[in-house]
Each structure stands twice: as structure tokens, then as C-alpha cells.
Amino acid sequence: MGAGGAEVWVDAGPGSLAELLRHTTLSRLDAVWLSHLHLDHIGDLLNAYYALAYGELPARTSPLPVYAPAGLAGRLAGFFAQPDASFVADVLELRPLHDGHEIQVHDLGLTSCAVDHGTEAYALRASSAGHTLVYSGDCAPCPGLDAAAADADLLLCEANDPHPTLVHHTPSEAGSLAYRMRAKHLVVTHVGPLLDPIEATTEAATAFGGPTTCAEVGSALTY
């Protein structure tokens, strides 16, 4: 995500690093923001660490800030078989998130809102120059996401499941969120394997009644 002079990597799932490097470099990146600690949202952070630590890339002037649930330190320590995560300190600066967490990266404001996913998880509300992008992360419909999504210019909402669950949205629930919270444009993302992306987008659009698109690898969205 690039806005307000800031470059932020939002969720680092497998394959996302390669896409990121089509647009920027790790040395230019201002921050990483992780919604939760499931592997499909953090896997490429390990590759980024290796690249920064051992890849002979242009040197950063300071460690890369990583905003994530506090358990990330333990995950990294376990993966690398270390007693704690202090070994990454020269490369990554781990900064724990909490509900209502606010940071300013250049002219981009980032607010984290706790959401329901069966584990510590956050949605992201990003604002710059009077425009707002909201990213649901992974979660079920919940008051935290409603608060984050209010009046969003661009709402990226997951639509993982064909039927309501306690941890994910259905396409129609994503569309209902966009309608209820007066979003201007809905982008359906994280469409699960039991759903057809085109059909899921149509279902979400029917519930929303407004502009709706499906996220695709390599696509660029501007607002």
C-alpha cells in the first residue's frame, strides 16, 4: 500500500513478497503491518528477514518496523530455533498491535481495530489526504469491523466461506458490511476454495448495491 508518501506492506502471505518487489524494495519500505499470525498472512516475512539479513541488499538506515500481534516474536523464535526474537533486532523492529493502535507513517495514518477470528486479529483503517482504505484482515462480522469500515472510500473485505462461520465472512456478509457502513467501493478478497470468485463477487455486489470488484494478483487499486 502506497499513500501519503508512505510504503507499507500489509499482510505478508506466501507470494506477496514477489508482488511487493514489483513496486518497491525492502530498503525503501516504511513498515510492515500484519493482521494476525496465521501462516497465510505472515509466511513471506521470513523470506524478507533472510533477504535483509543475508541477501546483500542496499542497507537500510534502520530496522524495518513490523506492526503485528505480540505473539510474532515467539513465532519467529520458534521457527529459527532461538530462545527469543532478539536475533532479528538488527533487521526487524517488532512493535505489538492493540485495539485502537494508531501510528503515522509520513502522511498516512494507520489505525488497528480488534476483530473476531478465533485468535488475536485486527482490521486496518488507513487514511491520507481525506481518503480512507479499510482492510478487514480475516474475521467474522463483528462490531470492531463495523467501526473500522464506516464511510470507507475503498473497503477490502474477505469472503472466505459459503456459509456463516465464527471466523470468516460470506460474500453476502461482505456486501452487507459495505452497504451498512456506507462504503463507496467494495473489493472482495480472500475468496475461499469452496467459492467461485466471479460468483462470490456477484453475491457481494447484490448485497451491497454499489461498485464491487474482486481482488486479483497484480492488480492496482487507486482512490
Residues 129 and 66 in one domain: no
Count helices and strands (H / E) in the chain: 6, 12
Same domain, 134 and 152: yes
Same domain as 69, residue 112? no
Going by pLDDT thresholds of 50, 70 and 90, the confidence category of residue 58 is: confident
| 43, 140: one domain | no
Q: How confident is the model at residue 87 (pLDDT cuts 50, 70, 90)?
A: very high
Q: Which domain CATH number covers 54?
A: 3.60.15.10
Gap between the Cα atoms of 19 and 103, Å rounded: 25
- Same-domain check for residues 53 and 132: no
Q: Which domain holds residue 75?
A: 1-97
Answer yes or no: is pLDDT of 144 > 80. yes
The domain total for the chain is 2
* Same domain membership, residue 74 and residue 104: no
Q: In this structure, are residues 121 and 69 in contact, taking their beta carbons and an 8 Å threshold?
A: yes
Q: Looking at the structure, tell me whether residues 29 and 76 fall in a common domain.
A: yes
Are 113 and 64 in the same domain?
no
Average pLDDT over residues 162-167: 98
- In this structure, are 58 and 87 located in the same domain? yes
Q: Calculate what percentage of the chain has a pLDDT beyond 70.
A: 99
pTM above 0.85, yes or no: yes
75 and 120: one domain? Answer: no
If asked whether residues 92 and 174 sit together in one domain, one would say: no
Average pLDDT estimate for 130-150: 98
What pLDDT is recorded for position 22?
93
Q: What is the mean pLDDT of residues 38-54?
A: 96
Same domain, 73 and 59: yes
Rg, C-alpha atoms of the chain: 17
Q: How many CB atoms lie within 10 A of CB 202?
A: 15
